[in-house]
Each structure stands twice: as C-alpha cells, then as structure tokens.
Structure 1
Amino acid sequence: MGRDTLTQILELARWAPSGDNTQPWQFEIVNDLHVRVYGSDTREHILYDYDGHPSHIAHGALLETMRIAASGFALVSKWTISSDNDRHPIYDVWFEGRPNMVRDPLFESIELRTVQRRPMKTSPLTDRQRKALIDAAGPTFNVELFESFGDRLQIAKLLWHSAKIRLICPEAYPVHKEIIEWRARYSKDRIPEQAVGVDPATARLMEWVMQSWERVHFFNRYLMGTVAPRIQLDLLPAICCAAHLLVRPKRKPAELIDWIHLGASVQRIWLTATHEGLHLQPQMTPVIFRWYARAGRHFSTEPGLFDLALKLANNFEHLAQASQTEDFGFFARVGVSQQPKSRSIRQDLATLLRA
C-alpha cells in the first residue's frame, strides 16, 4: 500500500457522476492510508444546485466510488465529515488492507458508466434487472419503477412541461450557455455537443441562438424555439426506454450526511444498471423544480414560472401517488442501448489534486 495505490483509486474515483460534469471536489493525499476530499457546490451560479444538494449527492457518489474502487486493491475504506460546512464540506477517507477481500462486482462498471441521452429500446426490464436496481438502493431508500407505456407517456408529458420551465427561465440561461462544449465529442469539464442528444441541425441552431438571452427569448416567444429540443431531449427519450425510476428516501433528508447517503445510493443504482447491461439518464429537473415549489421559493423573475412549478409538482405527486410532504431524491430513465459514442470525460487527476 502506498501513494501509487491511492493514485490509482483516485483515477477511478474521479469518474463519479456530477451535475453537468461540474466535478465539485479536489483531493489531497495526506499519507499512504488517508485521502482528504474538499467538496464544494455551485448554488451561487447554477439554478439547479438547489441549496447545494445536487452537489452533495455528487459527493456521496464520489465517496461510494472510492469505496468500490478500493475493493479492487484489497482495501476497505471509511469516511467521516470533518467539516460540515455544507458549502465547503471536507471528507476524510481512510483505507485499510484486507488481504482476503473480494472485489466489489461493480468495480468494472466505474469507467463504463455514462449518460445516455438519446432514445433507448423499449424492451422491458427483466426480473433480475428490476430486483438488482431495487436492491442496489439500500435499506433506507425505496425505488419505484414506472414501466408501462401509459406510465412512460405520463412521464413524457411531465418532462415536456418541466423542459418548458427550464428553457424559458432566464436564470437557467447562463447554465445552459456554459455547460455545452460545442462541436465536441468529449469534454473534460462540460457536456460535449455530440452527447447532448439533438441532431446536428438542431445543435447548430442551438449554438447560434444561445449566444444571447435576447435570441433565446425571441425564438421561444415567436418561433416556438422550445419545441425541437423538448421533442428530442425530453418527449421521445421519455417514451423510448424500458422504465423510469424514482428514488425516495424513507426519511426526509435533513442534514448533509443524508444527502451524502442518497448520493451513495444513486451511484450504486447507476453502476448496477451498467453492470446489468442497461444505460441510465438522470431526469432531475422535475425533482428540483418540485423542491423549489414545495419550499415556496420563487426561483425566477419571470412571471408565472413559480405557478408552473407548482403545477408540475402536483402532477409529479399524482403520478407517484405521493403527498406534498414526501421527498423525492433522484429520478432517471433506464433501458438498453448501444454504448454512446460521445461522453463527458473528467479533468486530469493532476488538476484535481491539491499540492
């Protein structure tokens, strides 16, 4: 056990998912058995990072990935939160050798796991896949699956309305403008254009329109500018998949550690999907707009958007047969597809390491 081993673990851990590939973390190798993770969030400039919770979920996914990666080197890991400032949390991770340890079966899926934003096959989940996804969540979370054509059609309508809020919200525009790396197949710190899920003609129009909010507003208002991206990014993918899954905490998250545990659960589910030959795409905007709506927080200066979020929350709860007070933690679609030819990669480890 030495620094080289920790470096190999971190090379794998950096593949953990994060919203829009923001990678809200840095690493410090303290000694041969100890890594310190410096977390951050993007709530100050990203509308979707509601109270930093999506970033906290990403931190949990990272810590779980470190645990799984360590198993490939006959190591167990444990972590603590050494600073619970939720804007800049610090996590200490310790490793211990276990010579007879069996490598976690999800180890091989760490680098294979990716987002599939394009339509997938509608082949139903097998009993094995269904059970694996539900079991992966762990004992403190429930997984609900929406598999029928009727369910998928209802969710397509839900995402259609969520996408309208997303695309006409001026506070979301800076995010959309910055997260896409145009004319790229891979991106170290954003989403490459070819992984977005739109055809080349729509991509060229989006690239031109998104150069200014004035263009976006004009196209949305007079030229039905939201229609093509909503069809390609929301409506068709929602119908063309095997199922949608909703992760619901059995206890409402109240502290930082609750969001970390949610993130660990999400990563296990996602890696399990990969292990079972499935692809997954997060669909978090309905969850996030519901968080805003149920907290009574107006997230935009645009008149009417909060009311649209309230309506969206009501429809989401009706679909999930949930009350207003029950929490939704993670929402995604799954299905079988070819491996995407384009994907977000990650910043080099040297960039993520603190001196």
Structure 2
Amino acid sequence: MSSETLAQILDLARWAPSGDNTQPWRFEIVNDLQVRVHGYDTRDHVLYDFDGHPSHIAHGALLETLRIAATGFGLLATWTVASEGDHRAPVYTVQLTPVAGLARDPLFDSIQNRIVQRRPMQTVPLTVAQRIALISAAGGDYEVQLFETTKERWQMASLLWRSAKIRLICPEAYPVHKSVIEWGARFSKDRIPEEAVGVDPVTARLMKWVMQSWSRVDFFNRYLMGTIAPRLQLDLLPGLRCAAHVLVLPLQAPTKLEDWVRLGMAVQRLWLTATQQGLHLQPQMTPVIFRWYARAGRRFSSDASLVDASLAVASDFERLVGSQPADPFGFFARVGTCRMPVSRSIRRDVVELMKERNDS
C-alpha cells in the first residue's frame, strides 16, 4: 500500500462527527500500514464533556469511519488503545492489513454525505425498511428505541424544551456557547457556522450581540425571556418536526474506555445508516449528559436549582422510555427527511490534524 492510499483513508476518516466540531484527535503516521490516533478530551473547559466520555465516543466514531474507509481500498483496519489514569490522552494504534477480496462496506458512500440537520424536518413516518435498518445498525450490544407517534414526539420535544432551559441559563455552559459558533459563516473548519445553527437571521443577530458577555445573557434570560426564541427554534419545533426520536441504550453500562469507544463506533454506524436510508439526523445529547451528571450525583453548576432541574429531567426521561435510574443511556437523536442543508461544519485538513513531533 502506498502513502497516498493512507492519506486518502485519513481524508475520509476526518469526516467523523465530534461534539461542536472539536475533532479531538491528531494523526501520526508510523508507516504506510499503521497510524496512531492521539485522542484528547475537552472536559476541563466544556461542561458537556462529562468525564471526557463524549470525546471518547467521538474517538470511536473516528475509528469506525476509518475502518469503513479502509474497506474501500481492500484493507482491514483493527485498533488497540493505550491509556492511563482518567483517559485524557488515549493513543489508538490502527493497523491496516490487505485482505484479498475484502468487500467495501455498504456505508462507505455515506461518510461524506452524513451531516447534521438542526432545522425542523418533515414528519413523514419512517418506512419499515428504515425502521429495521436503524434498529439493527448499532449492533447486538445495544438496544435502539424509536419514538415516532405524535404523542411521543411531543413528549420528547417537551423534554428537550426543559433541558434547553438548563443549558441556556447555566453560567458554566456560557463559555462553550460563546466559543462554538463561527458568526457570519456558512461553513466552518473547527466550529459550527452561524447558518447551520438552526435559528432565523434575526435571532442569530440577537444571539451574537447578547452572547458577548454573561451579564447580557443573564439579563436577557431573567427579564426579557431570552431563552424563548432559541428554545423554540432549536428544541421544541425540531423535536416535533421529525419522523422519530432515537435512543441508543447499551445493554451493559460502559465502565472502561473501550466501552465508550465502542459506543461511538455504534453511534457512527447508526448515523451512517440513517444517511444511507435517505434520512438526516441531529444529536440531542443535552438531556443524556445532564442525566449522566444527575445519576452520578455530580454538581455541574453553582446554581443548585439547575442541579435539581436536571434530576427532574432525568426522572421524566426515564419514565418516557421505560427505564430505571441505573440503566445506561448512550445516545439520543432525532431523524427525518428534508432538503440537504446548505450550511455545515466541515473539517480541518489532514495536514492540520497531523501531530507535530514536539507535541506533548
């Protein structure tokens, strides 16, 4: 295999999803058949990266995308991981092995077509084929639940509405919200472009002005109902306007780094399968992440009322899906059909994702 082939594989792998387009990985080429992926997480400055697990899920999505991409070149990709302590900087060694007659993975063509759709979709019901494909996509270690009826979509939209208020009035979340949007952009290499956020232009301009300082955000939220427009456009209406909400439940609670990585691999298979089936998908991880905090007994904010609110959201979430407090939740999203978005997060070029020799 040539170095050019490896470059093509990495060029496809980099399209894997990550929270707010952080791309928490860097590549190190060992030789033409081996690459090291240096992972990292954002837990120290991102409220939503609970113990680094969302980043670990993203690492899994990258590894699965790399595996699928490699099949297009007749190569079998396998990985091992070396990590210490709380897994802030795991190193994944990916070995590529030529295999005669290896079939190209059916999800190969969906790698670059996969995209986030944050705006309302059509409420056209899932077909039987789409339903079966989604339920089976994650694999035998996971249960996939679908919530499709009008009542179920309304219940999930209401849950998202409440979860979004916690997100928007939480002072610890403000630095994340301020930094992740690239204002005035249709495409962004390392953030979310303004046009892909999912709000109308007037709301976007107001958000840009308000988010310049926490004092403005707090004032608007307290006295001018500042959360109403974004929650309506980003949570309630999209939650109603979709074909279904999808919840991925691990059959065994993740306890090791590899468990979270394999969850990410399953999530990427689900997402690529949705794309293959002509569907768009939007992750809805906020209620899952607040539930992780709640069930771990962890305070994520100095505002005690938000901690109490997260416990209430967690309990209602469990009631809606028929789960117990100890049951693990892995991934939550909505799916549906719509026109292809004209704006999206793109990715850093492969050369920008290469690990420098002097990197720590």
TM-score (norm 1): 0.99
Helix, strand or coil at the partner of 2:172: coil
Structure 2: how far apart are the matches of 1:189 and 1:331?
Answer: 23
Are residue 74 (structure 1) and residue 59 (structure 2) matched?
no
Matched residue, 1:264: 265
Structure 2: how far apart are the matches of 1:99 and 1:241?
Answer: 42
Helix, strand or coil at the partner of 1:92: strand
Structure 1: how far apart are the matches of 2:82 and 2:3?
Answer: 22
Structure 2: how far apart are the matches of 1:110 and 1:246?
Answer: 22
Helix, strand or coil at the partner of 2:160: helix
Kindly state the Cα deviation for residue 45 of structure 1 after the two structures are TM-superposed: 0.0
In the comparison of the two structures, how many residue pairs are matched?
A: 355
Are residue 248 (structure 1) and residue 249 (structure 2) matched?
yes
Trace 1:142-291 onto structure 2 (pairs within 5 A).
142-291=143-292
Structure 2: how far apart are the matches of 1:3 and 1:74?
Answer: 15
**Tell me, which stretches of 5 or more residues in structure 1 are unaligned?**
none
Are residue 16 (structure 1) and residue 16 (structure 2) matched?
yes
Kindly state the Cα deviation for residue 2 of structure 1 after the two structures are TM-superposed: 1.6
Are residue 55 (structure 1) and residue 55 (structure 2) matched?
yes
Retained in 2: the 8 A contact 1:68–1:107?
A: yes
Structure 2: how far apart are the matches of 1:158 and 1:42?
Answer: 26
Q: Which runs of 4+ in 1 moved over 6 A?
A: none
Matched residue, 1:5: 5
Report Cα offsets for 1:179-226 as digits up to 9, x if no partner: 000010000000000000000000000000000000000000000000
Retained in 2: the 8 A contact 1:245–1:334?
A: yes
Q: Which moved further from structure 2: 48-57 or 85-94?
A: 85-94
Kindly state the Cα deviation for residue 302 of structure 1 after the two structures are TM-superposed: 1.6
Kindly state the Cα deviation for residue 84 of structure 1 after the two structures are TM-superposed: 4.5
Matched residue, 2:308: 307
Report Cα offsets for 1:272-318 as digits up to 9, x if no partner: 00000000000000000000001111100123000000000000000
The aligned amino acid for 1:168 is I
Structure 1: how far apart are the matches of 2:100 and 2:185?
Answer: 43
Q: Percent identity of the aligned residues? A: 66
Kindly state the Cα deviation for residue 137 of structure 1 after the two structures are TM-superposed: 0.6
Kindly state the Cα deviation for residue 151 of structure 1 after the two structures are TM-superposed: 0.2
Kindly state the Cα deviation for residue 101 of structure 1 after the two structures are TM-superposed: 1.2
Q: Which moved further from structure 2: 330-339 or 77-86?
A: 77-86
Helix, strand or coil at the partner of 2:117: coil
Structure 1: how far apart are the matches of 2:345 and 2:21?
Answer: 7
Kindly state the Cα deviation for residue 82 of structure 1 after the two structures are TM-superposed: 2.4
Kindly state the Cα deviation for residue 320 of structure 1 after the two structures are TM-superposed: 0.6
Kindly state the Cα deviation for residue 58 of structure 1 after the two structures are TM-superposed: 0.1
**What is the RMSD computed on CA atoms of the aligned residues?**
0.6
Report Cα offsets for 1:81-106 as digits up to 9, x if no partner: 12345100000000011231111110
Helix, strand or coil at the partner of 1:28: strand
Report Cα offsets for 1:59-96 as digits up to 9, x if no partner: 00000000000000011110001234510000000001
Kindly state the Cα deviation for residue 353 of structure 1 after the two structures are TM-superposed: 0.9
Are residue 329 (structure 1) and residue 330 (structure 2) matched?
yes
The aligned amino acid for 2:182 is E
Retained in 2: the 8 A contact 1:84–1:90?
A: no
Structure 2: how far apart are the matches of 1:295 and 1:180?
Answer: 30
Trace 1:17-32 onto structure 2 (pairs within 5 A).
17-32=17-32
Kindly state the Cα deviation for residue 354 of structure 1 after the two structures are TM-superposed: 2.0
TM-score (norm 2): 0.98
Retained in 2: the 8 A contact 1:59–1:263?
A: yes
Structure 1: how far apart are the matches of 2:309 and 2:83?
Answer: 37
**Tell me, which stretches of 5 or more residues in structure 2 are unaligned?**
none
